[in-house]
Structure 1
Amino acid sequence: MTITQVDLRSDTVTKPTPQMRNAMANAEVGDDLYREDPTVAKLEAIYAERVGKEAALFVPSGVMANQIAIRCHAQPGSWVAAGRYQHVVVFEYGGSARNAGTTFYLLDDESGSFGGEAIQEATSSQGYWDVQFSLICLENTHMPSGGRIWPIERLESVRQAAGGLAIHMDGARLFNAEVASGVAAATFASYADSVMTCVSKGLAAPVGSLLAGSSEFIERARYERGVLGGQMRQVGVLAAAGIVALETMVDRLAEDHARARHLSEAVKARFGSYVGEDYLPETNIIVFDHPQADAISTYLNSQGVLVNPIGPRKLRFVTHKDVDDSQLDYAYKVIVDIPDDL
């Protein structure tokens, strides 16, 4: 078998489309610090409308968007309620403790979400302890559980249980949730006070994320972006790709979801006892536990199927626009034929 390279590590490896490159080359620009970049302003307006918020802010990364949101919503020394496997907890370098002086109160999100009862149980401790809650963080889609979508009824229950607490939605892959569920991104975002989305993952722009909320929130967020060193100048050359991403790349996410479902058949054929016969990814991410995750990853990489474990026992495969059907067929065969004696 001829070795082909198939990159299933993440949808962050996507390359910008020719239309994006052309838009970048011809972008009208200005100094964004002075709010003079018309392309950035257009991108922010498009995103704010898509998620049903008053205003939005373009930032270099999803991590920065989340960290800005925490700095805006949470008081230093307070608790932030979040799922124990969420990106803000596991993959942001302890940023909230360093950037906002907050501590996470960890909730069980192994299934991909939690409900209002978890919030009620957590916040009931405030009457006995001195530390107070100031924020709830959600992740939709929930990457560590395999790109699962937050059920609307759970979002409703969290919103009801939140009382006066702010809610921030890490919607790095929010449009995957929209396409797979048929629920508008704005509907998901309506249960949160702020929401962020990456245009540099499945939407294939080269750089950037957007953070949205009320006009007042975004004014504060603009200040906090500067505090974190995220002020940008003639950044319309990047925002232009983001506009193309939002206008042309959302609907095609369905292709990634279909390919993930196809690839899951190989995973079930080889690792059925670990994933279950009924396993079916909801979006573009396959995640499952296996005691030999590192050895399996090493073998797959040696065969040109690039994957990333996301924990000591946790394997992940991510489909995206730069994995076509022929590459997927190759990965399928390699996965099915993984030897037992690794």
Structure 2
Amino acid sequence: MAQTGHIPAGVGGNRDTRPDLATELFVAHRNLLFTAAYEMLGSAADAEDVLQETWLRWTRVDLGTVQEHRAYLVRITTRCALDRLRTLTRRKESYVGPWLPEPLLTAPDVAADVELAEHVSMAMLLVLETLAPIERAVFVLREVFDLDYEEIAETVGRTPAAVRQLAYRARSHIAARRPRGTVSPADARGALSAFQRAVDTGDLSGLLDILAPDVVFLGDGGGVAQAALVPVVGAEAVAALLAAALGNLATRSLEPAHVNGHPALILRLDGRIDTVLALRLDDGLVTGLYSVRNPDKFSHLHRETTLRR
């Protein structure tokens, strides 16, 4: 298979044409590399660009000198993601209203992997946004992909001692902001069903029963679609906002989905995706609502994205 600038989506070929080793290795680890890039960036579009750059660099590597292919590919992806983070940070500074991660439609097996689901959740990605880029990379490589400190040090250009300190600082920062309790898949489905039923029927009392007193609503319209420009806090305020925004569902439909490994609702208007509403659950109550309305962030909602650790 000729090496080009295009990322191989899968292993092609037939009895006469087989992919070369570089292609086979890249395809074998592609979902893992996308997951790493997405966790560092919070943007599927930028993660795909990082994979493009990773592929281009990978085709120039002498594979005979590489002992651990997975670690080497993760290293390339991390370096490309760190470069991309600088550009992304500048874009966010001029973004209209709150910036939310690009939602991914994920398969139920992601939700079954509790640790992976936590790391790719909207809530966790927003916490990662508060870390410095180098801390974010170190946290993802250590906590999600279990690379040792020496490998991470080589990847990010720091000493192992410095990486240990960065990892400790990132863990401490995130530990204070993690969800307060784990939610079983069955409880998550029950909470989503109750929430959807209350929204569908406009049952304000039902909404107040499922919303935590300190629930936070974040809206992302990116200046393209109407959305709340500041966070809305408190059960009564959020319930009133939802009732006003979703009260007339005559031409709309709400469908449950797994988004970033967690329960969500996809709102369609005349068959077109209008809003993705992802939920954060703690102790059986909705503590966070993440409403993405920017249509530029809907590219990964028409098919399930495979995530891997």
**Structures share a fold, TM > 0.5?**
no
Higher relative contact order (CA 8 A, sep 6+): 1
What's the TM-score once normalised by structure 2's chain length?
0.32
